[in-house]
Structure 1
Amino acid sequence: MWLLALILAYLLGSLPTAFIVGRYIYGFDIRRRGSGNVGATNALRTMGTIPGLVVLAVDALKGMIAVWLGQLIGGPWLAALTAMAAIAGHNWSIFLKFQGGRGVATAAGAVMVMAPVALFWAVLVWVIIVIFSRYVSLGSITAAALAPFLVFFFHRPWPYILFTFAGAALIIYRHRPNIKRLLAGTEHKLGERG
């Protein structure tokens, strides 16, 4: 059952929301627009506010469902593993030849189920950084780095703490191109087309 749950979570995470919305509603491949990333920020940049929010919500829901599935079948340890599987699916989608997004929204959805108060504070930090810097990537990297310590601070189970450390490391790793652009001063700011 655990293996089946992990496969289902990966396939769920693999559903490329931004690609589907771009291709079947707007008629273009989001991988060829903006940053080329298959995620909510690029959807916002290339399709507008409403499509961007839809992509954000669905990608977060993938993480939430993955955790609920894991909790139902195997408790916190499996929930942590199914959450990682969903993020892996989002980042390396089987439907897009193992291309994908950064995993931020899917991870946030998972943490919303595991540790909602910790997520609240991480999102608050994200909002403050994005408002003052206008760099979504900087907000995402900072919130991801902070999340494991918040989950630990709020005394969540160890599998959830370990998940947020692993998830944060993966999110930061996936932001390598953004980090290079931030350091070079070429990263797109919120509201800029690109």
Structure 2
Amino acid sequence: MKTLLVFFACYLVGSISGAYILSRAFFHKDIRDEGSGNAGTTNAVRVMGKKLGYTTFAIDVLKGVVAMALLAPMLDESIRLFAALFVVLGHDFPFYLGFRGGKGIATTFGSYTTLQPLWGGVAAIAGVIAAKVTKYVSVGSLTFLSLSSAAMLIKYGSIGYNRWAILAVWLMGFIRHKDNLIRLKEGRENKIGG
């Protein structure tokens, strides 16, 4: 029962949508009706500007930090990474927003860097470099997601059932970027500064 309550708490923390709250508070609009329609950092920067966009990023990162620093320790070591999965699920599919949220990259960053600051940081730097070189935020996001997931698998994949949570976060991130991948293939993806 305690395990289910922790999972639910992680989901609730994840469902706090910074982009939605800030767009309502400052513009009286639903950010999901603007720009790309995504309730995440990239769209928040494009729609609300850098200040509120980066505030969105900070909120989404903090959700991952809270889940892993405060809630995950309540779980058995064999399933601790499921806290990351459920906080990302909350971010991606908030129940009070019709299950239409973000793509989970910032929250994954917060989750994984709380556990492994060095490797999470290295993966994030690689993601930033990939985004700058290609001019595509989505490429940077998926680079970070893949490298950080690989690091988590190396560190925690052999412990209990954690590998399944890590793989689920990775797969969900790619599924959430499905439209970006299609646009990349067709040469229609928005470039940074474009």
TM-score by length of 2: 0.91
Amino acid at match of 2:62: L
Task: Please give the alpha-carbon distance, in whole angstroms, between the structure 2 residues aligned to 1:157 and 1:166.
Answer: 12
CA contact (8 A) 1:70 1:81 kept: no
Aligned to 1:8: 9
Task: Please give the alpha-carbon distance, in whole angstroms, between the structure 2 residues aligned to 1:169 and 1:82.
Answer: 16
Aligned to 2:58: 57
* RMSD value, Cα: 1.7
Task: Please give the alpha-carbon distance, in whole angstroms, between the structure 2 residues aligned to 1:41 and 1:76.
Answer: 34
User: After superposition, what is the alpha-carbon deviation per residue over 1:29-56, rounded to whole angstroms, capped at 9, x for unaligned?
Assistant: 1111111000011001111111111111
CA contact (8 A) 1:6 1:82 kept: yes
Aligned to 2:82: 81
Amino acid at match of 1:44: V
The structure 1 residue matched to 2:192, chosen from 174, 190, 193, is: 190
User: How many residues were matched structurally?
Assistant: 191
Once the two structures are TM-superposed, the CA of residue 99 in structure 1 deviates from its matched residue by 0.7
Task: Please give the alpha-carbon distance, in whole angstroms, between the structure 2 residues aligned to 1:142 and 1:22.
Answer: 28
Task: Please give the alpha-carbon distance, in whole angstroms, between the structure 1 residues aligned to 2:123 and 2:166.
Answer: 12
Q: Does 1:17 align with 2:33?
A: no
Once the two structures are TM-superposed, the CA of residue 79 in structure 1 deviates from its matched residue by 3.0
Task: Please give the alpha-carbon distance, in whole angstroms, between the structure 2 residues aligned to 1:53 and 1:76.
Answer: 33
Task: Please give the alpha-carbon distance, in whole angstroms, between the structure 1 residues aligned to 2:42 and 2:26.
Answer: 17
User: After superposition, what is the alpha-carbon deviation per residue over 1:72-114, rounded to whole angstroms, capped at 9, x for unaligned?
Assistant: 3124344311211110011111120111110001111100112
Aligned to 1:67: 68
Matching of residues 1-194 of structure 1 within 5 Å: 1-153=2-154, 155-156=155-156, 158-159=158-159, 162-192=164-194
Task: After superposing the two structures, state which structure 1 stretch, 160-169 or 129-138, moved more.
Answer: 160-169
The secondary structure found in structure 1 opposite 2:84 is helix
Amino acid at match of 2:70: L
**Which segments of 5 or more consecutive residues in structure 1 lack a partner in the other structure?**
none
The secondary structure found in structure 1 opposite 2:191 is coil
- For residues 104 and 48 of structure 1, do their structure 2 counterparts lie closer, same or farther at Cα, with a shift above 3 Å needed? same
Task: Please give the alpha-carbon distance, in whole angstroms, between the structure 2 residues aligned to 1:66 and 1:131.
Answer: 30
Once the two structures are TM-superposed, the CA of residue 71 in structure 1 deviates from its matched residue by 3.2
The secondary structure found in structure 1 opposite 2:81 is helix
Task: Please give the alpha-carbon distance, in whole angstroms, between the structure 1 residues aligned to 2:77 and 2:55.
Answer: 28
